[in-house]
Amino acid sequence: MGVLIRGFGILLFLSACGVEEGQLGAPAGTNLPRERPGLVAGETEIAPDPTEELATPPTSRVPCEVGRCWLNAPEIRGACPDRPLGEDFSSGKYNVHRYPYVAPAGTSVEVTLEVTAGQWQPILIVADAADGITLFDGEVGLSGGAVQLETGATGRTGSLASVLVTAATETRLDLYVTSWETVDSGFTAALATEARYTLSTSAGCPPPTEICPMDPQSIDRLASGFFTAAESSDPLAPNYSPYKRDDRDSHSGYDLHAPMGIPVLATQDGVIVSATTVDASDCGRSVTLEIPSGVRFRYCHLDQVLVTSGEVVAGQVIGLNGATGNAHVSHVHFVYLESPALADTSSGEVKSRKVNQYIDDLCR
Ligand SMILES: [Zn+2]
């Protein structure tokens, strides 16, 4: 059992920090309001009231009663996929940011605050949104009951602060982002306007069932599947491909251009039905993955084949990006083959439209 720190003046806390609740709800990752002057509508500043009778000393870490609290931060729902939220203290008006957070039921989620600019020690504080009780004060978490908080990094040293939140039932929490310098000053110290951070939630997401053949952030360029030789040889055409070196009328795969050696991933659960570990054809070193529907995916030009048979799961590394076979620059030529794959007689254009859709959905 950790130390339970009650914020002073719970009624004051509710009347101050809770009042904005109905105005929140922007999904994480979309049109996030920024803490910048003139850009945030309806933001509310809770300034310290020097005349207020305080029940406990101002070392309490329930921040909005004494700190300058930005209440209009977006709600975080622990949504999957996890998208780090970037924010800063650039307005100079606030020294605490509050994020309403819905902890999902029956799972553990790590909430991480990371400093991305400025020199400051980050601290995450977690309170129950319903009653304002502090459940995690940055160092000690409350255990037991419907929600458990376990300390990860305190942020006293290094640039990370984190806490593991485990909720038995869906629970509304408030996450507070501030600095240890601010906490130690009794919430009077300001954060530097250059202070920036990301706030993210992880774990608790089901594993993906379909993913891009590479980390999308590693992909330099996607060249779609279908185009004619004339189109692909025109440097001004959208489908220009300096890598097409044959006389065929169409290019029936999807080229994912990325640095040499980056991991190449199984896009879905399935079975590796064939693999070529010698570089002796246009396709070079390659792997063919069959998914339960019978559709097969072939990955060409790999520098190394890492799985040659057996079951794989979505996201598993099956090879490394390369330029073997008919390739002059490192890329994966990804082919979509209808069942039965090796007897697929559909036209190059039909195959190409399918692979275009498939990769566009997963990688863009
Ligand atoms: Zn290709």
Which is nearest to 138 in space by CA: 120, 113, 116? Answer: 113
CA of 242 to the centre of ligand 1 (A): 10
What's 330's domain CATH number? 2.70.70.10
pTM score of the predicted model: 0.48
Q: Assess if residue 98 is contained within a domain.
A: yes
Distance 255 CA to ligand 1 centre (A): 5
Which residues on adjacent β-strands are paired with residue 337?
296
What's the 209 CA to ligand 1 centre distance in angstroms? 25
Looking at every residue in the chain, the average pLDDT score rounds to 76
Query: In angstroms, rounded to a whole number, what is the distance separating the alpha carbons of residues 287 and 341?
Result: 13
Report how far Cα 3 is from the mean position of its chain's Cα atoms: 32
210 within a domain of the structure (yes/no): no
316 CA to middle of ligand 1, Å?
22
Exposed, middle or buried by CB within 10 Å (0-12, 13-18, 19+), for 58?
middle
Whether residue 28 lies inside any domain: the answer is yes
Based on the fold, state whether residues 333 and 301 are members of the same structural domain.
yes
Q: Which residue in the block uniquely carries the two structure tokens 């030529």?
A: 333
Q: Residue 361, by phi and psi: left (phi above 0), alpha (psi -120 to 50) or beta?
A: alpha
108 and 64 share one domain: yes
Domain limits for position 305: 216-363
Domain contains 317: yes
Task: Decide which of 202, 233, 267 is a domain's last residue.
Answer: 202
189 and 96, same structural domain? yes
Last residue of a domain, one of 140, 171, 202: 202
Q: How far is CA 44 from CA 12, 39, 160, 163, 191, in A?
A: 15, 13, 27, 27, 18
Same domain, 225 and 357: yes
- Is residue 110 within 8 Å of 147, Cβ to Cβ? no
Number of separate domains in the chain: 2
Same-domain pairing of 45 and 192: yes
The distance from CA 57 to its chain's CA centroid, rounded to whole angstroms, is 39
Per-residue model confidence as pLDDT tens for the chain (364 residues): 333 443 333 333 333 333 232 222 333 333 334 443 333 334 444 444 444 433 333 334 468 878 889 887 777 765 454 567 889 999 999 999 999 988 888 888 889 999 999 999 999 999 988 888 889 999 988 876 789 999 999 999 999 999 999 999 989 999 999 999 999 998 999 999 999 999 988 755 566 789 999 998 899 888 765 555 555 566 665 555 554 444 444 566 789 999 999 999 999 999 999 999 999 998 999 999 999 988 899 999 999 999 999 999 999 999 999 999 988 899 999 988 875 545 556 666 666 677 888 898 898 7
pLDDT in tens, 291-327: 998 889 999 999 999 999 999 999 999 999 999 998 8
81 neighbors 29 (Cβ within 8 angstroms): no
Residue 243 within any structural domain of the chain = yes
Q: Quick one: DSSP state of residue 189?
A: S
Q: Are residues 88 and 230 in the same domain?
A: no
Residue whose structure tokens are 């530097």: 192
